[in-house]
Structure 1
Amino acid sequence: MVQAVPDPRRWKALALLCGAFFMVILDSAIVVVALPSIEIDLGFAPSDLQWVLSAYALTFGGLLLLGGRSADLLGRRRMFMVGLALFTAASLLCALAWSPAALIAARAFQGVGAAVLTPTALSIVTTTFEEGPERNKALGIWGALGGVGGTAGWLIGGPLTDISWEWIFLINLPIGVTALALAPRLLRESRAQGQRRGFDPLGALSATAALVLMVYAVVEAPQAGWTGAQTVGLLAASLAMFVLFTVIESRVAQPLLPLRILRSWTLVGANVTMLVFSTIAFGMPFILTLYAQQVLGYSAVEFGLSSIVFPLAVTVAAIVGQGLVLKAGFRLVATAGLTLLGIGCLYLTQVSAGGSYFGDIFLGLLVSGLGVGLTFVTCSIAALAGVDEREAGLASGLSNTTFQIGAAVGVAIVSTVAVSRTDDVVAGGGEPIVALVEGHQAGFLAATILAGIGILSALLLLRRPPVPSPDQPPLVPVAEHADD
C-alpha cells in the first residue's frame, strides 16, 4: 500500500464535510421549530406528530451501519456523493408533501440519504487526519458544528417557518447542489484495503425492524397501556429482532457489524454514552419548543431568536471539550457534560403557565447547551479512538447509529410521557393550559432521569484515551485507486 502524505486540501475538505454534516443535523433540529405549523397545516393528530422526527431517525439509525460499510467497500467519496444526492432529493419531496403520510414517508427517505452521507463523511475525516492532536482538532470542529447544527435549527427555522414551513426543507437544495459540485475537487477517493466486497442485507433488515418495533411500542404505549398485550408483544418482538441480528452478525461472511469491534471497551463505552445522551439532546428540545409556542405563545421566529444562547453555549463547550479530552480523559469530560445537561433539564421542570423567557427558559438553555457541547464532542472522539483505518466507516456508522437510535427513542419517551400526563390531567377535570404545562414538566423530568442514567454510563464505561506506542505508524488515508 502506498502511504499518502497529508492531503494539502484536508482543511478545505473538512469544511465541505462539516458543511454536509451541518445540513443533516440542522435538518434533524429545524423541524422541531416548525412542528406546530406542520401540525395545523397538514392536520396531524398530536400523538402522531412525533413521527415527523422518528421516521427520519429510524431509517437514519437503522441503515447507518450499512451506509458506513458501503463507504469502506465501495469508496468513501463515491458514497458520500450518493448519500448527498439522496438527501437533497428527499428534501425536495418533504417540501412538496401534501398530507401527514406523505411527509412521514419523505422524511423516512431523507433518513436513508443521511444514513449513507453521515458515516461516510465522518470516516473521510478519520482517514484524512492523523490520529492525535490534528485529528482531535478536526473532530472538535466536527463536533462543534454538529452541536451548532442541532441547535441553530431553532434560530434558522423560526424565520423560515414564518414564511412557510416548506422552506425548512428547501434550504437544503442549494447546500446539497454546491457540495456535490465541490466533492470531486476536494475529496480523495479511499476505501478499506484487503477486504472482499460483501454486504449484509439480513443484518440491516433485522436491525431496522428491531428499532421500528421498539419505538412504535413506546409511542403507542399510552393508548395501549404499558403492560398491555400490544406493548409487551411489540417489545418482545423488538428484542427477538435484536437477538436475530446478533446471530446473523456472528455467522455471515461479511457482517454488517463484526462483533470483534465490540472488544474495544472505549468504543463500547462511547456508544452506550452517546445513545443515552442523544435521548436527552433530542427529547428536551422537542418538549421545549412545544412549551414555548403552545403555552407562552411564542411565534416560531421569537422562539428561534430567543434560543440563540443554546447554540452559542454548545459551540464554546465543544471547542473547549476537544482540548480537555486528552488532558482530563473521556470519563471526566463526558460526566461533566451530562451533569450540566441534567441540571438544565431539571431547571426546566419548573416551567409554568404564566412563565417568561428569563424566568423559565434562559438558564435551562444555557446550562444544557454547555452540557450538549462537552458530551457530544467527547463521545465523538472516544468512538473513533484507536480504530483501524479499514474500519473507520464501520466505527463512524456505529457512533451515528447509536446517536440516531437515542434520538428516536428519546423523542418517543418524552413525548409519550408528556402526552400521557396531559391526558390524565384533562381526564381529571384540569384546565387545558394547566394540563399542557404539567405534561411538559413531566417530559422535562423524564429527560432529567435519562441524564442521570447517562452519568452512570459515563462513570462506569468510559476510560482515558488510548496512547499510541512510539513505534506505531500513524493512520493515513488510503492512496487513490487507479480505477477511481
Structure 2
Amino acid sequence: MAIDTTSPVTPTEPLDTPRLSTRDKLVLFVLCAAQFMVALDFSVLNVSLPALGSDLGMSRSALQWAVTAFALPSGGFLLLFGRIGDLYGRRKLFLTGLALFGAASLLATLAWDPASFLTGRALQGLGAAAIVPTGMSLLTTTFPEGPARDRALGISGTLLSLGFTVGMVAGGVLTDTFGWRSTMALLTLFALIVLPLAPALLPESRTPERPRLDVPGAITVTAGLLSLIYALSTAADHGFARTDVAATLATGIVLLAAFVTIESRTTAPLVSLPMLRRRTVAWGNFGGLVTFSMMSTVVFVLTLYLQEILHLSAFETGLVFGVQGVLSAVAGAWAPRVIGRIGARRTLVASLTGQGTLIAALLGLDAQGWSVWLAVTAVSLSSMCHLGAIISYGLTVTSGVPDEEQGLATGLVTSTQQIGLTVGIPLLGVLATTSHDLLSGVHTVLAIDAAVVLIAAALVAVGLRVRSGTVEPQPLRAR
C-alpha cells in the first residue's frame, strides 16, 4: 500500500468499507472494552469526590489525590510498559494489566480509609499503564494497514471519547443511587467481563528487534514527576518553606535532568531526544500537554463549584458534563473535516484559542442558580475545541515522521496525554481546594487556566509558523 504525500485530503472521497470477520469483531470488542474501561476511570469518580471525601474523611485539599494517584502511575509507567510488551509479549502484559486493574478496583471499592483507597487508585493506574500501550499495539498489529485498521482505530477513538462522557453521567447516577463505592465496583465488573474473553481471542505479539529495556530512564522520569507533583501540591497547602517541599522539588528537578542525560546516551531510549527536536513533534506535544492539563483542571474545579456552591446533586452534575461529552463526540466527527480543509496545525491553534476564550467566559460564574447555564454552555463549547486540539495535535506530531519512527511518535502522543491529565490538577486545582473562599479560588484557577491556554496558542502558532496565506502540507492519506 502506497502513501500519498502530495495530493490534498478530500474527506468526502469514498473509501471501501472493510468487512470484519466475527473473530475480528470479537477482538475489537475486547480491545475497545478495555480502553473504554480506562477512559471511564478518568471521569467516573469526578462527580463523586465530595461524597468520597466525606465518607473517608479526606479534606477538600486532599481530594486531588483521588485523581492524581491514578493518573501519575498511568502516565509515568506508560512508556516502560509499552517497551516491556514489545520485548516479552503484548498479549501477556495486556492480560496482566487487566488482572491488576480489576483487583485494584476491588480494593478501591472496599477501601476503609484514605490510604487503602489511594493504594487502590495507584494500582489501577499501573494496570492502565499496561493496558493502554499494549492494547493499541495489539489493535494495530491485528488489523492490517488500510481501511480495516482505519475503521478499527475510528471505533476505538469514538469509544474512548464516549467513555469519558458515560463516566461523568454514570458517576452521578451511581453516587446518588448506591454511593461513591459503586463507581469503583463498576470498573471491577468491567474487568471481570473482559478478562475471561481476552486469552482465547488475542494473538501474542512482540517486536522482532527486541529493543533494550530502558529501566534507568523509566525510574528517573517516574520518580522525578512524582517528586515534582508532590512538592507543588504540598507547597500550595503549606508553602515552599517546609523542608520536605524543598527537598522533593530539588529531587524532582535532579531526576528529570538525569532522565534527559540517560535518554541522550542509551541506544533504546523511552523518549527519542532527536525526535523531540522536530518542530512539529515538540510544538505539537506542547499544545497537547496544555490542552489536556488545563481541561482536566476545569472539570475538577467545576465539579466542586457545581456541588458545593450551586448545591447540585451528583446526578445533576453528571448531566452537566454529559452535555459536554455529547458535544465533544460531535466535535470528534466534525474535526477531521476541518483538518482536511485548513490543516492540522491551524486547527490546533484555532482549537487552543477557542478553548482558552471559552474558559475565560467561565469567569462570569457566581453563586446564583442561573450560572449553571453559563457553566453548561461554556464548558461544553470549550470541550468541543479541546477535542479538536486533541485530534489535531496527534496528527501534527505524527505527520512527516518516517514509518520506522511512527512508534516513537505515537508513544510521545500518548505520554503527553497521560502526563497532561496528571499535572493539571495538582498544579492548579489546589488553588481552589485550599482557598478560604471557594468561589474566589475557582475564579483564580479559571483565570490562570485561560491565560495559559491562550498564551500556548500564540506560542504554538509561532513555533509551527502558522501564518495566513501559507499552504500547510496535508495529512498523509492511505490509498
TM-score band w.r.t. shorter chain: 0.7 to 0.9
Instruction: Name the amino acid aligned to 2:193.
Output: T
The corresponding residue for 1:21 is 35
The corresponding residue for 1:189 is 204
Asked if the contact 1:191–1:390 (Cα under 8 Å) also holds between the matched residues in 2, the reply is no
Asked if the contact 2:399–2:475 (Cα under 8 Å) also holds between the matched residues in 1, the reply is no
Alignment partners' CA distance in 2, 1:379 and 1:129: 24
Distance 1:375 1:54, change over 3 A: same
Which structure has more RCO (C-alpha within 8 Å, separation ≥ 6)? 1
Larger mean CA deviation between 40-49 and 10-19 belongs to 10-19
Asked if the contact 1:157–1:301 (Cα under 8 Å) also holds between the matched residues in 2, the reply is yes
For residue 298 of structure 1, the aligned residue among 312, 321, 326 is: 312
The corresponding residue for 1:482 is none
For residue 96 of structure 2, the aligned residue among 76, 82, 89 is: 82
- State the TM-score, normalizing by the size of structure 1: 0.85
- State the TM-score, normalizing by the size of structure 2: 0.86
Larger mean CA deviation between 346-355 and 447-456 belongs to 447-456
The corresponding residue for 1:308 is 322
Alignment partners' CA distance in 1, 2:477 and 2:326: 37
The corresponding residue for 1:171 is 186
How far residue 402 of structure 1 moved from its aligned partner, in angstroms, is: 1.7
1:245-260 alignment, distance < 5 Å: 245-260=259-274
2:367 aligned counterpart, secondary structure: coil
The corresponding residue for 2:221 is 207
The corresponding residue for 1:431 is none
Counting aligned pairs with the same residue, the percent is 36
Asked if the contact 2:306–2:372 (Cα under 8 Å) also holds between the matched residues in 1, the reply is no
How far residue 194 of structure 1 moved from its aligned partner, in angstroms, is: 2.3
Alignment partners' CA distance in 1, 2:403 and 2:205: 10
CA displacement 1:137-158 (0-9 Å, x = unmatched):
5444433332332233221101
For residue 71 of structure 2, the aligned residue among 43, 49, 57 is: 57
Asked if the contact 1:333–1:375 (Cα under 8 Å) also holds between the matched residues in 2, the reply is yes
Structure 2: which 5+ residue stretches go unaligned?
A: 1-17, 467-471
How far residue 301 of structure 1 moved from its aligned partner, in angstroms, is: 1.0
Instruction: Name the amino acid aligned to 1:303.
Output: T
How far residue 363 of structure 1 moved from its aligned partner, in angstroms, is: 1.0
Alignment partners' CA distance in 1, 2:404 and 2:27: 20
1:124 to 2:138 alignment: yes
Alignment partners' CA distance in 1, 2:129 and 2:99: 12
1:84-483 alignment, distance < 5 Å: 84-128=98-142, 138-162=152-176, 163-196=178-211, 198-225=212-239, 231=245, 233-356=247-370, 358-385=372-399, 394-420=408-434, 422-423=435-436, 435-461=437-463
CA displacement 1:407-427 (0-9 Å, x = unmatched):
22110122222235x23xxxx
Distance 1:313 1:359, change over 3 A: closer
2:335 aligned counterpart, secondary structure: helix
CA RMSD of aligned residues (A): 2.9
Asked if the contact 1:126–1:392 (Cα under 8 Å) also holds between the matched residues in 2, the reply is no
Structure 1: which 5+ residue stretches go unaligned?
A: 424-434, 475-484
1:316 aligned counterpart, secondary structure: helix
Asked if the contact 2:20–2:148 (Cα under 8 Å) also holds between the matched residues in 1, the reply is no
The corresponding residue for 2:55 is 41
1:223 aligned counterpart, secondary structure: helix
Asked if the contact 2:105–2:185 (Cα under 8 Å) also holds between the matched residues in 1, the reply is yes
The corresponding residue for 1:480 is none
CA displacement 1:21-57 (0-9 Å, x = unmatched):
1211211111111100010000002221111111111
1:66 to 2:80 alignment: yes
Asked if the contact 2:366–2:439 (Cα under 8 Å) also holds between the matched residues in 1, the reply is yes
How far residue 200 of structure 1 moved from its aligned partner, in angstroms, is: 2.1
